[in-house]
Amino acid sequence: MVVHAIGKGVAATKYAFCQSLGNLPVVYMTALNGYVHDKFGPSWMLLGEALAGIVCVIAGLFVLRGILDRSTRATVL
């Protein structure tokens, strides 16, 4: 899917950029979890991780709802 989305022009650069974006969540969650663990302890770290997961699921549902609403409007028009 990524290869199809990036097209043919400067494909290697675009592919490398897309792959590097996949490392961002690993880096910032490791840093954030380490900070929360050191500052507040392991139980708060786990609660923060759970809260981050819940927030991402809710955000994904809103995005999905917007996509479905847009596609419904497009078929009606």
CA distance linking residue 55 with residue 61, whole number of Å? 10
- DSSP character for 7? -
- Residues found in the chain: 77
Neighbours of 46 (CB within 10 A): 13
- What is the number of structural domains in the chain? 1
pLDDT in tens, 20-59: 888 888 898 899 899 999 999 999 999 999 998 999 999 9
Q: What is this structure's pTM?
A: 0.61
Domain of 63 in residue numbering reads as 2-76
Under a CB-based contact definition with an 8 Å cutoff, are residues 32 and 25 in contact? no
Per residue in 58-70, pLDDT (tens digit) is 999 999 998 888 8
- H or E element in which residue 11 lies: helix 11-21
